[in-house]
Amino acid sequence: MTLRRRWLAITRRLREFRMIAKGLISKDHPVLAHIIPMRRCNLSCTYCNEFDEVSKPVPVETVKRRIDHLADLGTTIITISGGEPLLHPELDQIVAHIRKRGMIAGMITNGYLMVPDRIKQLNAAGLDHLQISIDNVQPDEVSKKSLKVLDKKLQFLAEYADFHVNINSVVGGGIRNPEDALAVSKRAVELGFTSTVGIIHDGGGQLRPLGDRERAIYSEIRSWEKSSYSRVNQFQENIASGRPNNWRCRAGGRYLYICENGLVHYCSQQRGYPATPLFDYTKDDIRREYNTEKGCAPHCTVSCVHQIATIDNWRSPQTIRKVAPAPESPIDSPLVQIETD
């Protein structure tokens, strides 16, 4: 690692510590917001319910105004997602504006468009974190996010990226060869990236317990994971065994999902709740949703929401009872992939 990369990693970690401290001191601001500047994707993975093939980019000035409102609410991290965010022609301006407003900038991408010039542009914009999920070693009819296709892109990232890179592999229902997750994780570690493993969830963000072989692979990869806040995922132990989690979901308060239309939702799997325009979202909304129990919480597998909730699980019992009910039959829902940013 170069001296520049070491220095950037140190300053990034210090900002992350400040983010955690701010979250522990005050509960009246969002810790993490996901924004969607581009719903369109250049792939069509069959498990995914978070893309279309026709949407235009959200105008950059509109995205900047949304970032400004999130900053005014006290948000500390913004993660750019999609669709495929790298299809947005002015993505670098979006990343730079997040950093200009003093927030940590992350991104989730399929990695297909990661070439040296693009990586250097993201360096200049100030991107802090990037995650790529890789589903298999060889592409198949379910997913083209394969190690074979993406390995060259990973090499480019290892050579040029100044930002932190995490590679997420997946196990669970719909994954044909669970051993592929081992190959993906080993390659990530070889290239100097962090590696995490996610568990496939259904169309409502609900759990599917692992089989014996899947659980063994999951446990092995977990043993390689380096310590950092993004790997706060102990809740997955219950998911792997098919057990519910007893936790307080703070979606709508500590975590916000802002769709391409500028509406605030609990998460990518509960779009429609509460569906309030971001520019109308206030501290009162944050306090109300912070205290609102979510009916989908016990079997939720959406990692980013779980991770953010750990800041507050020790305090403030939720007094407003269940909204956003869990699907009646999660097993019948189409599969989508877990987020682990």
What's the CA gap between 111 and 22, in Å, rounded? 32
Higher pLDDT, 325 or 282: 282
Please provide the average confidence, as pLDDT, over all residues in the chain: 86
Higher pLDDT, 325 or 243: 243
Higher pLDDT, 263 or 220: 263
- pLDDT of 125 > 80? The answer is yes
What's the CA gap between 302 and 205, in Å, rounded? 6
Q: Supply the pLDDT for residue 198.
A: 77
Q: Supply the pLDDT for residue 235.
A: 76
Structural domain boundaries in the chain: 3-336
Q: What is the average per-residue pLDDT within 259-274?
A: 93
Q: Supply the pLDDT for residue 160.
A: 97
- pLDDT of 335 > 60? The answer is no
Among 288, 296, 291, CA closest to 272: 296
pLDDT tens-digit readout, 100-113: 999 999 999 999 99
Q: Which of 174-188, 247-261, 296-310 has the highest mean pLDDT?
A: 247-261
- pLDDT of 300 > 90? The answer is no
3-class secondary structure per residue, the chain: CCHHHHHHHHHHHHHHHHHHHHHHHCCCCCCEEEEEEECECCCCCCCCCCCECCCCCCCHHHHHHHHHHHHHCCCCEEEEEECCHHHCCCHHHHHHHHHHCCCEEEEEECCCCCCHHHHHHHHHHCCCEEEEEECECCCCCCCCCEHHHHHHHHHHHHHHCCCEEEEEEEECCCCCCCHHHHHHHHHHHHCCCEEEEEECEECCCECCCCCHHHHHHHHHHHHHCCCCHHHCCCHHHHHHCCCCCCCCCCECCCEEEECCCCEEECCCCCCCCEEEEHHHCCHHHHHHHHCEEECCHHHECCHHHHHHHCCCCCCCCCCEEEECCCCCCHHHCCEECCCCC
Q: Supply the pLDDT for residue 140.
A: 84
Q: Supply the pLDDT for residue 259.
A: 96
Residues 6+ apart with CB under 8 A from 263: 275, 276, 277, 278
Q: Supply the pLDDT for residue 151.
A: 97
Q: For the domain with range 3-336, which CATH number is right: 3.40.50.620, 1.10.1740.10, 1.10.3720.10, 3.20.20.70? A: 3.20.20.70
pLDDT tens-digit readout, 23-45: 999 999 999 999 999 999 988 87
